[in-house]
Amino acid sequence: MKHQIRIAQRIGAARGFANVADPLEPGEGLVQLAEAESRRAAEWESVLLVGDAEAIGAARAWHEAVWNVELYARGLRDDPAGWASAEKRVSEARDAFYARARRDLGIAGPPPPSGNWPRPWQQTELS
């Protein structure tokens, strides 16, 4: 998922969306995005095999959030406010998946600190 979202964000940067560096031209990026999706789909089988229902549900929510960002990368959506909201949902869904997966794996302690996107230092102040 991390590889997919990074490609989608870079394509988004080429399309003019904020908070992403390293623009990637859509022609090249969409090919990479399709390859990353194929890899995600194959690796997903491992999560289905060993994950509990809550971890799988959280993973699916993360997938859907990433796919929503991909709609912007593919040029099917173009609203800058929607882009920002979609990126926020990806961060929230990823955090929820990490928390549930750690619990499923029996890892004690809190999950890692949130990597909310965009990072606070990237956000502009509203006037």
| 23-52 mean pLDDT | 96
Q: Say whether pLDDT at 83 is over 90.
A: yes
**pTM score, two decimals?**
0.85
Distance CA 10, CA 20 (A): 6
Q: What percent of the chain has pLDDT over 90?
A: 81
CA atoms within 13 A on the CB side of 73: 29
Residues 6+ apart with CB under 8 A from 19: 84, 87, 117, 118, 119, 122, 123
DSSP state of 22: S
pLDDT tens profile 42-77? 999 999 999 999 999 999 999 999 999 999 999 999
DSSP 8-state symbol, 127? -
Average pLDDT over residues 28-54: 95
- Nearest-angstrom CA–CA distance, 49 and 35: 22
Total Cβ atoms within 10 A of residue 54: 15
In which band, very low, low, confident or very high, does the pLDDT at 124 lie, cut at 50, 70 and 90?
Answer: low
For the cut 80, the answer to whether the pLDDT of residue 116 exceeds it is: no
Asked if 36 contacts 7 with a C-beta cutoff of 8 angstroms, the reply is yes
